């Protein structure tokens, strides 16, 4: 093995059952065992956001462009701006996505679990009350 440029993968549309609105992602890296690391760029159009979900081994987001939110169930809304890095622990229900009137792009870094457990468990879509109608600033 030596240092190598990784193959480019096509931009994929986020499935409707997992996302509200139009979301696109690029898989930049998926480690081969024993590495289980995953790196994606995720681009949300204004107002687009994930459904509630959990990650088996947690997830780190790094915002590259735009404005948006991340929120864990029962916790305060966190506003996202370029340069922000946020971590969600393993098994915690949360959502993330764009502000209503802004694009959001973030890198997403996570690990696949070692066993048969799914990487991500998807739950309900956000209700109209759960998605914020505006940013504070
Ligand atoms: Mn997540």
Note the pLDDT tens digit of each residue in 11-55: 999 999 999 999 999 999 999 999 999 999 999 999 999 999 999
Query: Is pLDDT of 134 > 90?
Result: no
* Cα(118) to centroid(ligand 1), Å: 13
21-130: CATH superfamily: Jelly Rolls (2.60.120.10)
CA of 58 to the centre of ligand 1 (A): 8
How many angstroms separate the alpha carbon of residue 3 from the centre of ligand 1?
A: 29
pTM: 0.94
- In this structure, what token pair is assigned to residue 49? 């956001």
Q: Of the given ranges (6-10, 26-30, 78-82), which has the lowest mean pLDDT?
A: 6-10
- What's the confidence (pLDDT) of residue 133? 85
How far apart are the CA of 2 and the centre of ligand 1, in A? 31
Listed residue (133, 104, 95) closest to 24, CA to CA: 104
Query: In whole angstroms, what is the distance from residue 74 CA to residue 31 CA?
Result: 33
Centre of ligand 1 from the C-alpha of residue 115, in Å: 20
CA–centroid distance, residue 41 to ligand 1 (Å): 12
The closest alpha carbon to 38, from 120, 94, 110, 119, belongs to 110
Ranges 12-21, 88-97, 98-107, 126-135: which has the least confidence: 126-135
Contacts of 17 (CB under 8 A, 6+ apart): 51, 122
């Amino acid at each position: 093995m030596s240092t190598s440029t990784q193959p480019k993968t096509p931009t994929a549309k986020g499935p409707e059952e997992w996302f509200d609105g139009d979301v696109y992602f690029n898989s930049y890296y998926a480690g081969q065992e024993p590495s289980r690391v995953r790196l994606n760029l995720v681009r949300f159009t204004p107002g687009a956001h994930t459904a509630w979900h959990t990650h088996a081994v947690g997830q780190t987001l790094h915002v590259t462009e735009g404005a948006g939110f991340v929120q864990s169930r029962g916790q305060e809304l966190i506003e996202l701006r370029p340069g922000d890095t946020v971590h969600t622990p393993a098994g915690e229900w949360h959502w993330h996505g764009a502000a209503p009137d802004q694009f959001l792009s973030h890198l997403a870094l996570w690990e696949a679990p070692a066993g048969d457990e799914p990487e991500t468990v998807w739950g309900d879509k956000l209700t109209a009350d759960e998605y914020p109608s505006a940013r504070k600033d």
